[in-house]
Structure 1
Amino acid sequence: MSSSSRPALAAALTAVLALALPSAGSAEAEPTTADREITAETVVVPAAQGLAGAYLAARVAEAETDFREAAYWYDVALQLDPGNLALIEGGLYAVLALGEFERAGPLADALAAGPMEDVQLAAFVQDALQIGAEDWAGLLQAKADGRQVGPVLDELIVGWSRFGDGKVSEALKDFDALASKRGLEAIGLYHKALALAVAGDFEGADAILSGSAQGKLNLNRRGVIARVQILSQLERNEDALALLAQAFGTEPEPMLDALRASLQTGETLPFDVVTGAKSGLAEAFFTIAALLRSDADPSYVLIHSRIANFLDPTNADALLMTAQSLEELGQYNLAVETYAQISPDQPVFYSAEIGRADALYAAGDKEAAVAALQGLTESHSDLVVVHSSYADILRREDRCADAVAAYDAALALVDDVQPMHWSLFFSRGVCHEQLKDWPKTEADFRRALELRPGQPQVLNYLGYSMVDRGINLEEALSLIEKAVKAEPESGYIIDSLAWAYFRLGRYDEALKPMEKASLLEPSDPVVTDHLGDVYWMVGRKREAEFQWHRALSFSPTEKDAERIRKKLEIGLDQVMAAEASAPVEAQPEAATTHGG
Structure 2
Amino acid sequence: MSLTRALLFAGLLAGAGCATHEADTSLTGEYLAGRLAARVNAIDDAAAAYSAAHEAAPGQVDILRDAFFYHLAAGEIDAAAPYAEKLVAIGGEASNDGLARTLLAARALKQGRLRQARAILNGPMETPFVKSVGFLTDVWIEAGLAGPESAMARLENPDTDIFAGFNPLHRALLAEMAGKIDEARAAHQASVFALGGPVGRAAYGAFLERRGDEETARAYYKLLEGEPGPARRAAEAGLARLDRGRASRAYAKVSPSEGAAIAFYSFGAAMIDQAAGQRARAQEAGFILGEPRFNLPLALARIALYLDPKLDEARRLVGTILNVYGDYEGATAALAGIAPSSPHFEQARIEMARGLMAQARPAEAINLLREAIRRDPDGRELRFTLANVYAGQGEHDKAVATLDELIGRAGDEPDDGAWRYYVARGASYLELDRWPDAEADLERAVELAPDEPTALNYLGYSWAERGVNLERAFELIEKAVELEPRSGAIIDSLGWAYYQLGDYEKAVVHLERAAALEPDDATITDHLGDVYWRLGRKTEARYQWRRALELDPGVRLKALIEKKLEKGLASEEGA
User: What is the TM-score when the length of structure 2 is the normalising length?
Assistant: 0.85
Structure 2, unpaired ranges of 5+: 16-21, 276-292
- The equivalent of 2:504 in structure 1 is 507
Structure number with the higher helix fraction is 2
Of 79, 85, 90 in structure 2, the residue corresponding to residue 103 of structure 1 is 79
CA distance in 2, matches of 1:22, 1:357: 42
The verdict on how the C-alpha distance between 1:433 and 1:362 changes in structure 2, with shifts beyond 3 A counting, is same
**1:506 shift after superposition:** 0.8
CA distance in 2, matches of 1:380, 1:271: 21
- The equivalent of 1:294 in structure 2 is 273
Of 15, 20, 32 in structure 1, the residue corresponding to residue 12 of structure 2 is 20
CA distance in 1, matches of 2:116, 2:12: 45
- The equivalent of 2:385 in structure 1 is 389
AA aligned to 2:210 is Q
Q: Is the 8 A contact 2:105 2:121 kept in 1?
A: no
The verdict on how the C-alpha distance between 1:14 and 1:473 changes in structure 2, with shifts beyond 3 A counting, is farther
Once the two structures are overlaid, the 10-residue window that deviates more, 277-286 or 556-565, is 556-565
CA distance in 2, matches of 1:356, 1:56: 32
Of 91, 111, 119 in structure 1, the residue corresponding to residue 97 of structure 2 is 119
- The equivalent of 2:111 in structure 1 is 133
Once the two structures are overlaid, the 10-residue window that deviates more, 180-189 or 127-136, is 180-189
Q: Is the 8 A contact 1:350 1:386 kept in 2?
A: yes
3-state SS of 2:486 partner: coil
Q: Determine if the alignment matches structure 1 residue 246 to structure 2 residue 223.
A: yes
- The equivalent of 2:544 in structure 1 is 547
Of 457, 462, 473 in structure 2, the residue corresponding to residue 460 of structure 1 is 457
Deviations 1:16-66 (A, max 9, x none): 54412579xxxxxxxxxxxxxxxxxxxxxx999833333333332222222
Deviations 1:182-221 (A, max 9, x none): 995652222111111223333321132245xx99656533
CA distance in 2, matches of 1:69, 1:461: 44
Q: Is the 8 A contact 1:480 1:496 kept in 2?
A: yes
AA aligned to 2:223 is Q
**1:278 shift after superposition:** 1.8
- The equivalent of 1:145 in structure 2 is 123
CA distance in 1, matches of 2:456, 2:340: 40
Of 338, 354, 357 in structure 2, the residue corresponding to residue 361 of structure 1 is 357
Of 160, 171, 185 in structure 2, the residue corresponding to residue 192 of structure 1 is 171
Structure 1, unpaired ranges of 5+: 1-9, 24-45, 581-596
User: What is the TM-score when the length of structure 1 is the normalising length?
Assistant: 0.83
- The equivalent of 2:419 in structure 1 is 422
**1:541 shift after superposition:** 3.0
The verdict on how the C-alpha distance between 1:126 and 1:362 changes in structure 2, with shifts beyond 3 A counting, is same
Aligned pairs (5 A) from 1:483-522: 483-522=480-519
- The equivalent of 1:322 in structure 2 is 318
CA distance in 1, matches of 2:517, 2:165: 40
- The equivalent of 2:440 in structure 1 is 443
Q: Is the 8 A contact 2:139 2:151 kept in 1?
A: yes
3-state SS of 2:300 partner: helix
CA distance in 1, matches of 2:104, 2:112: 12
**1:135 shift after superposition:** 3.1
- The equivalent of 1:157 in structure 2 is 137
- The equivalent of 2:338 in structure 1 is 342
Q: Is the 8 A contact 1:21 1:48 kept in 2?
A: no
The verdict on how the C-alpha distance between 1:342 and 1:22 changes in structure 2, with shifts beyond 3 A counting, is farther
- The equivalent of 2:560 in structure 1 is 563
- The equivalent of 2:48 in structure 1 is 72
- The equivalent of 1:226 in structure 2 is 203
CA distance in 1, matches of 2:377, 2:469: 40
CA distance in 2, matches of 1:501, 1:22: 59
- What RMSD, in angstroms, separates the aligned Cα atoms of the two structures? 3.2
Q: Is the 8 A contact 1:511 1:535 kept in 2?
A: yes
AA aligned to 2:72 is L
Q: Determine if the alignment matches structure 1 residue 92 to structure 2 residue 72.
A: no
Deviations 1:375-400 (A, max 9, x none): 12222223322222211221222211
CA distance in 2, matches of 1:565, 1:316: 50
**1:223 shift after superposition:** 1.8
Deviations 1:453-505 (A, max 9, x none): 12111111111111222222222222211111111111121111111111101
CA distance in 2, matches of 1:324, 1:331: 10
AA aligned to 1:536 is W
- The equivalent of 2:305 in structure 1 is 309
3-state SS of 1:420 partner: coil
3-state SS of 2:338 partner: coil
3-state SS of 1:165 partner: helix
Deviations 1:390-448 (A, max 9, x none): 11221222211101111111112113223331111111111111211111111111111
Deviations 1:230-269 (A, max 9, x none): 2333333443233222323599977555543443343343
- Count the aligned residue pairs: 543
Q: Is the 8 A contact 2:407 2:421 kept in 1?
A: yes
Of 369, 373, 379 in structure 2, the residue corresponding to residue 377 of structure 1 is 373
**1:372 shift after superposition:** 0.2
AA aligned to 2:38 is E
CA distance in 2, matches of 1:74, 1:319: 26
The verdict on how the C-alpha distance between 1:567 and 1:176 changes in structure 2, with shifts beyond 3 A counting, is same
CA distance in 1, matches of 2:207, 2:54: 50
